[in-house]
Structure 1
Amino acid sequence: MKHLRTVEDVMTHSVISVDRETAFKDIVETLRMWNVSALPVLSEDGRVAGVVSEADLLLKAQGTDTAHGTTAGQLMTRPAVTVTKDDTIPAAARLMARGHLKRLPVVDGDGRPVGLVSRGDLLKIYLRPDEDIGAEIRELIMYQPIPRGSAEVYVHVANGIVYLNGSLPDPTMEDVVVRAAGTVPGVVDVKTDFIVPAAA
């Protein structure tokens, strides 16, 4: 499986959007037709100006829309929270969590949409085979600043959980190895059982 590291690796490349003048009913129909919960709203020059979501529309249904909006431009949330295709998957996940968002528009350097990334897309990294994760961790550990003569690191991965054991020459080396393993896409947790010399 391809290493999934950036938004581009997991995003949907097709973009369903509306413009500022799209009417309320047409927004609802577009959401239903494409089975999505939010849509980017594009300005006249094709940049993402905001996002209109089911939550925005429900304010109208609840009678709490004090602005009395009837078009996407009036109902949308702005400024839009967006990511670029080169952003990392963890960075996109943090943005979603912080804003309680289900999906993010992916934009190019000019702010024009090139795709969409959802929570489900970001979770694809956890579908990596354990064998792939283990192989990448072993390769990564080879480049860590650990004295080779007195270190033995064994790696086993099961269901995304990494088990590291063996022997290390210095207790501080354990943190180095654990941090390295934790950076590999698809890792759920890292557990260790190293033999290390007692601190003096």
Structure 2
Amino acid sequence: MLAIYGTSGLMYRGPIEDLRRVLPSLRSARLRPLATEVDRPDFADSGFRVPARRDGDGDHGGGAALPRTAAVAVQTYGEVQRPTVPRQPLQRVQDVMSRTVVTVRSDLSVGQGWRALAECGVGQAPVLDADGRLVGLLTRAELLSLDHLPRPEDNALVWRAFLAQPLSQVMITPVPGVTADTLLRRLALALLATGLPGLPVVDEAAALIGFVSRSDILKAVVHDPPLDLWAG
């Protein structure tokens, strides 16, 4: 199930498959495909270490000994095939979403919104109004859009005015929200249709309960297989 929220409240609720049909009637000048950054895997936190090769490693005359690095790889693969924790297929948004969400208020300035993204190390954040309702999405890509930024040669006062304007001038609105039980393949359809880097996750009462991004999906594929993928 998909719902689309704007500054006036709920604008649409229905199947994700209808998004391509509904979106053109809701599209604003600020809702467009965005260039996003992709998180690079942090191998330092993965727990995997490849010992340095030492003199004498490898073939000692027996003819069949594996190099040490290859042996480590084989052992690691075997451990993956026999996980100590039971695994289950990742099928729905709730299996991969982030439940701790960085949000910003719509009454903040552009400068304050930018600082919030930078301090929390995120590329996007749902925007909530004074009553805590979802009204938009703030993204780093949108803040850096040439449609919004003053020109480099503009006076410093122009840049100060840009940073002082409300987030409502640069946030993406309306913004879709998905429920936690949405199938991942349908989430992927919504991301492709909107070009957004991620979507807020809401409950049946439209309360924000999480966020799911492209990075969440990629990290799940890397760290928490199996993920069933079907072509058709």
Name the TM-score, length of structure 2 as normaliser.
Answer: 0.51
Residue deviations 1:129-156 (CA, integer Å, cap 9, x gap): 5xxx6xxxxxxxxxxxxxxxxxxxxxxx
Where in structure 2 are there 5+ consecutive unaligned residues?
1-86, 152-161
Q: CA deviation at 1:127?
A: 5.1
Aligned to 1:49: 135
Q: CA deviation at 1:62?
A: 4.4
Rounded to whole Å, the distance in 1 between the matches of 2:224 and 2:210 is 23
Judged with a 3 Å threshold, the aligned counterparts in structure 2 of structure 1 residues 88 and 32 are, in CA distance, closer, same or farther, namely same
Aligned 1:22-101 pairs, distance under 5 A: 22-58=108-144, 59-63=147-151, 70-101=165-196
3-state SS of paired residue (1:61): coil
Q: Is the 8 A contact 2:91 2:228 kept in 1?
A: no
Rounded to whole Å, the distance in 1 between the matches of 2:189 and 2:222 is 16
3-state SS of paired residue (1:105): strand
Residue deviations 1:3-52 (CA, integer Å, cap 9, x gap): 21110110000011111111111111111112222111102221211112
Q: Is the 8 A contact 1:6 1:87 kept in 2?
A: yes
Residue deviations 1:91-135 (CA, integer Å, cap 9, x gap): 111111111111111111122211110112223246555xxx6xx
Rounded to whole Å, the distance in 2 between the matches of 1:88 and 1:13 is 17
3-state SS of paired residue (1:27): helix
Q: Is the 8 A contact 1:47 1:110 kept in 2?
A: no
Rounded to whole Å, the distance in 1 between the matches of 2:121 and 2:99 is 16
Residue deviations 1:60-109 (CA, integer Å, cap 9, x gap): 3245xxxx781122321111121111111111111111111111111111
| Higher strand proportion | 1
Q: Report the residue type matching 2:193 in the other structure.
A: R
Judged with a 3 Å threshold, the aligned counterparts in structure 2 of structure 1 residues 54 and 41 are, in CA distance, closer, same or farther, namely same
Judged with a 3 Å threshold, the aligned counterparts in structure 2 of structure 1 residues 128 and 18 are, in CA distance, closer, same or farther, namely closer
3-state SS of paired residue (1:115): strand
Q: Report the residue type matching 1:29 in the other structure.
A: R
Rounded to whole Å, the distance in 1 between the matches of 2:228 and 2:92 is 13
Q: Percent identity?
A: 30
Name the TM-score, length of structure 1 as normaliser.
Answer: 0.59
- If asked which structure has higher relative contact order (CA below 8 Å, sep 6+), I would say 2
Q: Is the 8 A contact 2:200 2:208 kept in 1?
A: yes
RMSD over equivalenced CA pairs, Å: 2.4
Rounded to whole Å, the distance in 1 between the matches of 2:89 and 2:214 is 18
Rounded to whole Å, the distance in 2 between the matches of 1:52 and 1:119 is 16
Rounded to whole Å, the distance in 1 between the matches of 2:143 and 2:209 is 25
3-state SS of paired residue (1:82): strand
